[in-house]
Structures are given as structure tokens and as C-alpha cells.
């Protein structure tokens, strides 16, 4: 009889849960018994994904949607039986804004991430001068970059679309996605899909057009979806499907070492041995766990910088007279004199987020009063603080990942996963968790039916 193998997953956010789910799925296929333990330091699972119902309001502590063009999250929802819960953003209120000089100015229709689906939609936009919009429309005539030097997102956007569009449209949108500085973030690491479009099509505009299959901004389906009961339902369903996983909440891991051919995981005053370990925690947590054993790897992990964020959810009932009636919200450019980076009008963005006659917004009350003229007392307020939550893929990030991968290759059975590395969105985390699960099972060298 073969000895029982053991897998330890550290981190109970979406990446760690998906990794556990994938290992469970694959070992069932192999027909062999493996013990799976998942350790989470917090009292609940899900990390930033948490949904709370407060009276008539559905309040998200973190992301409220995910991209369906990256299919991993949609595929996972289908596997988990959540396919009938997937809801698109409201098409009838589709519009986003940038706060410019204190005025909400509409973004061109059909924005696809940081760039427009059709560059001619930039013509006449009040966000750009005539000269700036004409320069942006010449993007398809700009040659591919000749050298392979890493460039920032700002450099990439300015080279392809002109400096004015980079400053007035790309930079503000970027702050809403990464909460970062586009002059410091690596284009190849942070926006690889646009980077690859230039290589494949010779033009980002042609690549976006090909991906949209020629659909106009008005007829194209929304690229974002959510779950009817909130994003927390994904965590709840994942947890319910972990039938053979031993989940340990409020159980932080202090350190990971090598002990013979296995790994020793120090948990409080106790320790466990495992044949494979997935560190599905932010890279700085993983760095601390590895510091005593692998200091060079720890230094590389710790060098990935993070920024913190706070989500202030405010609900009104009934709807204030000056509340917006159209649009999803707005982005605030860097240097606008406020700590607010974005505001989402959740009730207008997604269905079933508040009772009829109510409005849910995510911003501080002074921002609401200054921008929308709303001074009424809110019916609901929730504050979600996320310390060191958003990784910043700085220049040289891909080179750092190559060094991390090389160091990990010398320790078979040890894996890192999560938003710290190759994508910050929910679909990226799902992919990272799946990949880690596959690598774990491969490292165990299980035999039996496949």
C-alpha cells in the first residue's frame, strides 16, 4: 500500500480555493488518495471577495465584476453550477466618465479596457483636442516597436496613440484598474494583451477590432459580468465543493522549510509535513514564510510593490434628486487633488443591487457632494480597507518573474500563485490557481487512471 501524500495550500482567497479545488478534481481522476490542507490566517475565506447584504443593498467589499473575455472565471462558474447566476452589466445605462476640472466628461463609446474599440470614436471627444484626437486616430499607421526594451504603460500609449491620449484617457483609466502610476508600470507585464496585439497585428486598433468581430460600440455585448447574489457567492460555492479538503481558518502559517524530501510548514506552535506546497498569498507574505530558508527568493518576492485601497460604500433611500440616472461611474485622474480614484454607481451598473428607489455609490460623502451635489444623510455606510492589496507590476517585473521561476525550479513541489505575478483580475487568479493545482499533481507523480 502506498503512503498517503499530503498537499498544503496557504491562503484562502480565490486563488487558493481554486488551487485546492483543482487538486481535488485531478486526484479523483487519478484514483489515489491525497490529503489536502488549506490554511487561511483570517476567520473567513475569500480575501477581497466578500458580499454583504445590508437592508435593501448588496455591498461588495472588493471587485463587483470580472471580464468575460478572459474565460477562466466564467468557465469556473459553469462548473460550479453558477451559470444561471451570471449577470451582465446593464446595457441601457452603459457609459463611463472621467472627472476633468471638476466636471464629469463622458469617455468615448466602446472603450475596450484602456483603448477605444474604434479610434474614430475619439473624434469630437471633449477629452482630447482636435490635434490629439487626430494623432490617436493615426495609431494603425505607427510602426511596431523595433527593440525589446521594457517600456512603461505611459510610454506604450504615447507611442501608439500620442501623448495627449496617454495623459488624458489612458492614465486615468489605469489608476482605476491598478491604482498605480502608468509611468512606472511595465506594459508587457500589466497590459500583455495590448502588447501582443501590436506584435500580432502591427496595430492595437486592428487587434481590438479583430477581437470584437467588427461589432460596433452600441451592439457589442458588455465585457463585464457579475453574480446575481454578489461576488461572495463564488467563494461560498467553491468552499461547498471542497469535499475532501481540510480547511483551517484563523490559522496563519509562520514559515516554510525543506525537511529531507518534504516541506515543513510551521503553523502556530505546531508543524506539518507536505509533499507539495502552494503559497497562494500576496508575495510579501510568501516572502516572510520563506525568509529563513530561501532568503534570495524571499528578497525577489518582497521586491514586488503593493498599494493599499479603501472602498467606501454609501447607500441612499430614496434616490436623491441630484443622483445620476445614466452611466456606471467615473474615474479620477492622478493629481486631481483628491484621494478618490474611482466612483461606481452600482445600482445603475448592475441589477438587483438595491431596492427600487435607492442608489448605491462607492465614494466618500464629500466627493458625492462636490461632484453630484448630494448632501442627504445616507441610509447605509460600509468601509472596506485593503492594506497592500494591489500589486504594482513595475518596470522589469517579467525579468523578476523569470528569476523567481528559476529559483522555484530548484525546489520541486513548491509553487507560488495569485495576483502578485501575472494578472490582478479574478479570471487571472482563477488561471493562477488552476495552474498551481495542475503543477502540484504533476509533482506528486501519481499513477493510475487518467
Is the overall model pTM greater than 0.85, yes or no? yes
CA–CA separation, 215 and 386 (whole Å): 37
Q: What pLDDT was estimated at residue 213?
A: 64
CA–CA separation, 31 and 34 (whole Å): 10
Q: Indicate the average pLDDT of the chain.
A: 90
Per-residue pLDDT reduced to its tens digit, 421-438:
999 999 999 999 999 999
Mean pLDDT to the nearest integer, 108-128: 84
Cis peptide before 213 (omega within 30 of 0): no
Other CB atoms within 10 Å distance of the CB of residue 246: 12
C-alpha cell at 281: 498569498
Q: Among 384, 439, 442, which Cα is nearest to 415's?
A: 439
What is the DSSP-derived secondary structure letter of residue 204? H
Q: What pLDDT was estimated at residue 362?
A: 56
- Give the burial class of 313: count Cβ atoms within 10 A of its Cβ; 0-12 exposed, 13-18 middle, 19 or more buried: buried
C-alpha triplet 373, 377, 382: angle, nearest 5°: 105
- 125-142 burial code (b ≥16 CB/10 A, e <16): bebbeeebbebbbebeeb
Q: How many residues does the chain have?
A: 450
- 76 against 334, higher pLDDT: 76
3-state secondary structure of 365: helix
Question: Is the confidence at residue 367, as pLDDT, over 60?
Answer: yes
Residues 6+ apart with CB under 8 A from 38: 8, 9, 10, 11, 12, 16, 17, 20, 242, 245, 246, 247, 248
- 247 against 381, higher pLDDT: 247
Whether 67 and 74 have beta carbons less than 8 Å apart is answered as no
Highest mean pLDDT among 1-10, 66-75, 179-188: 66-75
pLDDT band at 357 (very low <50, low <70, confident <90, very high): low
pLDDT band at 312 (very low <50, low <70, confident <90, very high): confident
CA–CA separation, 92 and 279 (whole Å): 42
- 177 against 161, higher pLDDT: 161
C-alpha cell at 390: 494591489
Question: Is the confidence at residue 450, as pLDDT, over 50?
Answer: no
CA–CA separation, 3 and 18 (whole Å): 26
CA–CA separation, 74 and 225 (whole Å): 9
Long-range contacts, stretch 361-365, CB < 8 angstroms, 24+ apart: 361/313, 361/314, 361/315, 361/316, 361/329, 362/311, 362/312, 362/313, 362/314, 362/329, 363/312, 363/314, 364/312, 364/314, 364/340, 365/314
**Would you list the DSSP string of 276-342?**
EEEE-S-HHHHHHHHTTT-HHHHHHHHTSEEEEEEEEEEEESS--TTS-SS-SEEE--TTSSSS--E
Question: Is the confidence at residue 153, as pLDDT, over 90?
Answer: yes
With both helix axes pointing from N to C terminus, report the angle between 72-79 and 426-444 in degrees, rounded to the nearest 10. 70
Question: Is the confidence at residue 1, as pLDDT, over 50?
Answer: no
Per-residue pLDDT reduced to its tens digit, 14-55:
999 999 999 999 998 777 789 999 999 999 999 999 999 998
Question: Is the confidence at residue 64, as pLDDT, over 90?
Answer: yes
Per-residue pLDDT reduced to its tens digit, 80-109:
999 999 999 998 888 899 988 888 999 987
Cα-flanking dihedrals φ and ψ of residue 436, to 5°? -65, -40
pLDDT band at 223 (very low <50, low <70, confident <90, very high): confident
Q: What pLDDT was estimated at residue 359?
A: 65
CA–CA separation, 99 and 239 (whole Å): 40
Amino acid at each position: 500500500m502506498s503512503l498517503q501524500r499530503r498537499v498544503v495550500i496557504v491562503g484562502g482567497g480565490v486563488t487558493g480555493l481554486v488551487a485546492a479545488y483543482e487538486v481535488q478534481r485531478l486526484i479523483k481522476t487519478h484514483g489515489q488518495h491525497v490529503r489536502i490542507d488549506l490554511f487561511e490566517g483570517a476567520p473567513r475565506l475569500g480575501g477581497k471577495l466578500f458580499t454583504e447584504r445590508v437592508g435593501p443593498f448588496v455591498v461588495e467589499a472588493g471587485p463587483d465584476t470580472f471580464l468575460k473575455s478572459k474565460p477562466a472565471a466564467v468557465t469556473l462558474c459553469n462548473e460550479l453550477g453558477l451559470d444561471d447566476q451570471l449577470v451582465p452589466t446593464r446595457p441601457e445605462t452603459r457609459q463611463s466618465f472621467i472627472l476633468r476640472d471638476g466636471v464629469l466628461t463622458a469617455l468615448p463609446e466602446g472603450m475596450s479596457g484602456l483603448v477605444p474599440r474604434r479610434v474614430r470614436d475619439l473624434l469630437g471627444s471633449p477629452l482630447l483636442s482636435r490635434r490629439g484626437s487626430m494623432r490617436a486616430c493615426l495609431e494603425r499607421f505607427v510602426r511596431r516597436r523595433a527593440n525589446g526594451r521594457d517600456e512603461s504603460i505611459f510610454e506604450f500609449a504615447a507611442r501608439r496613440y500620442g501623448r495627449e491620449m496617454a495623459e488624458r484617457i489612458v492614465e486615468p483609466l489605469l489608476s482605476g484598474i491598478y491604482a498605480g502610476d502608468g509611468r512606472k508600470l511595465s506594459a508587457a507585464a500589466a497590459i500583455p494583451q495590448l502588447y501582443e496585439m501590436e506584435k500580432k497585428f502591427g496595430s492595437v486598433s486592428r487587434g481590438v477590432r479583430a477581437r470584437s468581430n467588427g461589432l460596433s460600440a452600441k451592439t457589442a455585448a458588455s465585457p463585464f459580468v457579475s453574480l446575481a447574489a454578489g461576488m461572495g457567492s463564488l467563494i461560498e460555492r467553491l468552499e461547498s465543493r471542497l469535499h475532501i479538503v481540510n480547511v483551517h481558518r484563523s490559522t496563519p502559517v509562520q514559515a516554510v522549510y525543506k525537511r529531507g524530501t518534504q516541506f515543513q510548514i510551521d503553523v502556530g506552535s505546531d508543524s506539518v509535513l507536505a509533499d507539495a506546497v502552494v503559497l497562494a498569498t500576496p508575495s510579501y507574505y510568501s516572502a516572510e514564510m520563506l525568509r529563513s530558508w530561501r532568503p534570495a527568493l524571499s528578497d525577489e518576492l518582497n521586491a514586488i510593490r503593493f498599494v493599499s485601497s479603501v472602498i467606501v460604500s454609501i447607500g441612499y433611500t430614496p434616490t436623491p434628486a441630484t443622483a445620476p440616472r445614466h452611466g456606471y461611474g467615473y474615474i479620477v485622474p492622478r493629481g486631481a487633488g483628491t484621494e478618490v480614484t474611482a466612483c461606481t454607481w452600482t445600482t445603475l451598473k448592475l441589477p438587483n443591487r438595491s431596492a427600487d428607489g435607492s442608489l448605491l455609490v462607492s465614494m466618500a460623502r464629500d466627493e458625492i457632494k462636490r461632484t453630484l451635489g448630494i448632501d442627504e444623510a445616507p441610509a447605509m455606510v460600509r468601509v472596506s480597507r485593503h492594506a497592500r492589496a494591489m500589486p504594482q507590476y513595475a518596470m522589469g517585473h517579467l525579468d523578476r518573474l523569470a528569476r523567481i521561476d528559476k529559483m522555484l525550479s530548484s525546489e520541486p513541489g513548491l509553487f507560488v500563485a495569485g495576483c502578485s505575478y501575472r494578472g490582478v483580475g479574478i479570471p487571472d487568479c482563477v488561471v493562477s490557481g488552476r495552474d498551481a493545482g495542475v503543477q502540484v499533481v504533476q509533482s506528486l507523480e501519481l499513477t493510475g487512471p487518467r
